A and B are shown apart, each in its own frame.
Chain A
Amino acid sequence: MKFTIPQEENMHPGHLACPGCGGALAMRLALKALGKKTMVVLPACCWSIINGPFPYSAVKVPLFHTAFETAGSVSSGIKAALDILGKKDITVLAWAGDGGTFDIGLQALSAAAERNDDFIYVCYDNEAYMNTGIQRSSATPWGAWSSTTPAAKEEPKKNIMDIMVAHRIPYAATASVSYPDDFIRKLKRAKDIKGTRFIHALVCCPTGWKCSSEISIKLTRLAVQSGIFPLYEVENGLKYTLNKPQQISPDNKLIRSYLGAQGRFANLSEKDTKKIVADIKSEWLRLLNKIEGNICIKQ
């Protein structure tokens, strides 16, 4: 039998994540892909807790806990120091949640990306401030309940991939722990590229999504299959590649089954659901247009 997932474990068996946390699995997979020569920069996010309080650490690599909005800037500083000290073979991995990426950390991230500073930035996106008790972020989807959108969020989710791609960074990709081979491949690919690399990983938070923990993997798989969270890669801000496996067009039934399994969408009316399906379809078309655009570039 051939293992496609590296056997190397760079996470300890003990950690403080909730049952079914997609973010914990994401780190485990990422460190398998990147190996021991990695240094992690961790702004305030669920992982600040998951990694354990002093004197514990759940990972087998050096890790720096930092202020909420500083994943981009601290990573730049660490990389600059490693360079000047002649340690050029270490991967710096910024590991931030959606709040630290879409909201408070966006300025520092954008600046680092504009400088094309040499590190991998992974946003594990569970679509709200889960660590502080499920408050909406700009990554929370339209229609979702959160403790600060007690009816439903009225604004659409910010498209962080478009923002990062607009920086023309060498590599940006979406990834899902429900597709571990694809996830590992993308992290490994990112590792071999120089410059700012950005991975947007949708991860399930059973606590905040109000679903049972055993369907965590299934839900983020559904997100991909239904067209809600397409898996794709963008090179140099220009060349889009749609990854398999996923539907060739958004699937109404799968979208409904994704929404229906989560308590945070329990308040949706039929009209709301229809709007969500329509929005996903139009986003999908927008993505296809970008992929079509590749052909223009080649000519």
Chain B
Amino acid sequence: MKEVMSGNHAVSYGAMLSRAQVIAAYPITPQTQIVEMLSEFCRTGRLKAKFIKVESEHSALAACIGASIAGARAFTATSAQGLALMHELIHWAANGRMPIVMADVNRSMAPGWSIWTDQNDSLSQRDTGWLQFYCESNQEVIDTIIQGYKIAETVLLPVMVVLDAFVLSHTSEGVDIPEQKLVDKFLPPYKPQYKMDLNQTLAFGALVTPDYNFELKYQIQEAMEYSLTLARKVDKEFKRFSGRNYGLIEPYRCARAEIILVTSGTITSTAREVIDNLRKQGEKIGLLKIRMFRPFPAQEVIEALEDCKKVAVIDRNIGYGVGGILCQEIKSAFCNNARRPEIFGYITGIGGRDVTPDTIMEIVIDVRKNNKADNRIKYVGLRKLR
């Protein structure tokens, strides 16, 4: 069934179709609509879940952690300051191997107060052991929430589904809502091997000496590596019943491309339009969308980019003191690769500044005229300061 809905409501539908059993959340713009709709689903009985109206995001994730260890499928959603407040428990959920799914609506970190999009909130959590998916459309949002649970519950790691503030969260699009019966078949009830259980009387999360801890952390890395393979498999399986899949990355019109733009989130849609126009004019240019950021699908990225001459990575984030975070990841992926395109880094759209087809064209024009990349960061759409 197709319905017009916002990205936020696509998240709510995704959590409902996944039959989340415990939801704990706290209001924050631009996420709030997600949990408003979920509380309505709970009220009407469309979703049989316990909704804990907590007093902070820290408690939201703590309650999800409690629910998860007691054997329930748990869901939460947040944004920016809320995500940062959760940080301690973001580690806790991953180290405790809890398959929680969380939606993060990308919003610029304060101060100054901002409710508009950039990726610094979620990218600050990149080394915590959460899988991260960056969505381009509302359809992708609903589908990724469902896929997220399947992946999370197999590898026992939490999953963060990320969408841009307003550009996606508050923008309505036609969304095909998967049939519940089919989702149920794809995503059976959560049956954890270990949980708080009167018959097992285990102690979870005890003090762990140096004798054991290294292996525990290593196993998270191992699970991360495996989740690349798993996410591919789950994505294919998802296609069998829905007709849709996304890949971990998506090369778009990259055949024989000399220049490839790399994007994530909604900038991808804008860039697609630019690429279509340029291709029409005969330019050898393509686009690579990064959907999965953690674990980073480095090998796929290399294969998608190694044949082109120039790569322009577009970051809607700043790794202060380094540059664009996506750009760093891609450079590092190519570090030990014999064939390597010139990699240019562009930062744009910070704090929710519009990224239009003209912004993308500005990047294309710049990358066209430079043949050799250096480590200088280029800013697009930045006003002159002095």
Which residues on A are within 8 Å of B, measured CB to CB? Answer: 36-37, 39, 41, 48-49, 51-57, 59-67, 69-70, 72-85, 90, 107-108, 110-111, 114-115, 117
Could you say which residues of chain B place their CB within 8 Å of the CB of A54?
A: 203, 206-209, 212
Q: What are 19 A-B contacts with C-beta separation under 8 Å?
A: A39-B198, A41-B66, A54-B209, A64-B69, A66-B62, A66-B92, A69-B58, A70-B65, A70-B89, A76-B59, A78-B67, A81-B21, A85-B71, A85-B72, A107-B55, A111-B55, A111-B56, A111-B59, A117-B52
Report the nearest A residue to B200, measured CB to CB.
A62
Assess the A57–B59 pair: CB atoms within 8 A. no
User: Complex formed: what's the CA distance from A48 to B206 in Å?
Assistant: 7
Knowing A54-B212, A82-B70, say if A73 contacts B201 (CB, 8 Å). no
Assess the A76–B201 pair: CB atoms within 8 A. no
Specify which of A61, A76, A81 is in contact with B71 (CB 8 Å cutoff).
A81
New A-B pairs, 18, CB < 8 Å, besides A62-B198, A85-B72: A53-B209, A59-B203, A63-B204, A65-B203, A65-B204, A69-B58, A70-B65, A73-B54, A77-B67, A78-B69, A79-B66, A80-B50, A81-B22, A84-B72, A85-B71, A108-B56, A108-B62, A111-B56
Assess the B67–A108 pair: CB atoms within 8 A. no
Could you say which residues of chain B place their CB within 8 Å of the CB of A85?
A: 21, 70-72
Q: In angstroms, how far is the closest chain B Cβ from the Cβ of A244?
A: 36
Could you say which residues of chain A place their CB within 8 Å of the CB of B66?
A: 41, 64, 66, 73-81
Assess the A64–B63 pair: CB atoms within 8 A. no
User: Complex formed: what's the CA distance from A63 to B50 in Å?
Assistant: 22
Could you say which residues of chain B place their CB within 8 Å of the CB of A84?
A: 21-22, 48-50, 72
Task: Answer whether residue B290 sits at the interface, using C-beta atoms and an 8 A cutoff.
Answer: no
Task: Answer whether residue B183 sits at the interface, using C-beta atoms and an 8 A cutoff.
Answer: no
Assess the A67–B203 pair: CB atoms within 8 A. no
Report the nearest A residue to B20, measured CB to CB.
A84
User: Complex formed: what's the CA distance from A111 to B49 in Å?
Assistant: 20
Assess the A81–B72 pair: CB atoms within 8 A. yes
Q: In angstroms, how far is the closest chain B Cβ from the Cβ of A95?
A: 12
Assess the A62–B53 pair: CB atoms within 8 A. no
Assess the B50–A37 pair: CB atoms within 8 A. no
Q: In angstroms, how far is the closest chain A Cβ from the Cβ of B128?
A: 14
Task: Answer whether residue B88 sits at the interface, using C-beta atoms and an 8 A cutoff.
Answer: yes
Report the nearest A residue to B26, measured CB to CB.
A111
Could you say which residues of chain B place their CB within 8 Å of the CB of A115?
A: 52-53
Q: In angstroms, how far is the closest chain A Cβ from the Cβ of B296?
A: 28
| A-contacting residues, B186-241, CB 8 Å | 196-198, 200-209, 212
Assess the A76–B198 pair: CB atoms within 8 A. no
User: Complex formed: what's the CA distance from A261 to B86 in Å?
Assistant: 44
Most chain B CB atoms below 10 A, which of A56, A63, A80, A107: A80
Task: Answer whether residue B301 sits at the interface, using C-beta atoms and an 8 A cutoff.
Answer: no
Report the nearest B residue to A71, measured CB to CB.
B62
Task: Answer whether residue B64 sits at the interface, using C-beta atoms and an 8 A cutoff.
Answer: yes
Could you say which residues of chain B place their CB within 8 Å of the CB of A51?
A: 203, 206
Knowing A67-B88, A81-B70, say if A61 contacts B62 (CB, 8 Å). no
Specify which of B49, B72, B92, B198 is in contact with A61 (CB 8 Å cutoff).
B198
Task: Answer whether residue B74 sits at the interface, using C-beta atoms and an 8 A cutoff.
Answer: yes
Assess the A52–B205 pair: CB atoms within 8 A. no
User: Complex formed: what's the CA distance from A57 to B69 in Å?
Assistant: 17
Could you say which residues of chain B place their CB within 8 Å of the CB of A49?
A: 207
Most chain B CB atoms below 10 A, which of A72, A74, A90: A74
Most chain B CB atoms below 10 A, which of A51, A60, A78, A110: A78
Specify which of A48, A64, A77 is in contact with B52 (CB 8 Å cutoff).
A77
User: Complex formed: what's the CA distance from A149 to B21 in Å?
Assistant: 47
Could you say which residues of chain A place their CB within 8 Å of the CB of B249?
A: none
Task: Answer whether residue B24 sits at the interface, using C-beta atoms and an 8 A cutoff.
Answer: yes
Could you say which residues of chain A place their CB within 8 Å of the CB of B197?
A: 62
Report the nearest B residue to A40, measured CB to CB.
B203
Report the nearest A residue to B91, measured CB to CB.
A67
User: Complex formed: what's the CA distance from A151 to B205 in Å?
Assistant: 37
Instruction: List 3 tightest A-B contacts by C-beta distance, closest first.
Output: A77-B66, A81-B72, A77-B63
Assess the A83–B50 pair: CB atoms within 8 A. yes
Knowing A64-B196, A84-B50, say if A74 contacts B203 (CB, 8 Å). no
Q: In angstroms, how far is the closest chain B Cβ from the Cβ of A150?
A: 29
Assess the B52–A108 pair: CB atoms within 8 A. no
Q: In angstroms, how far is the closest chain B Cβ from the Cβ of A271?
A: 42
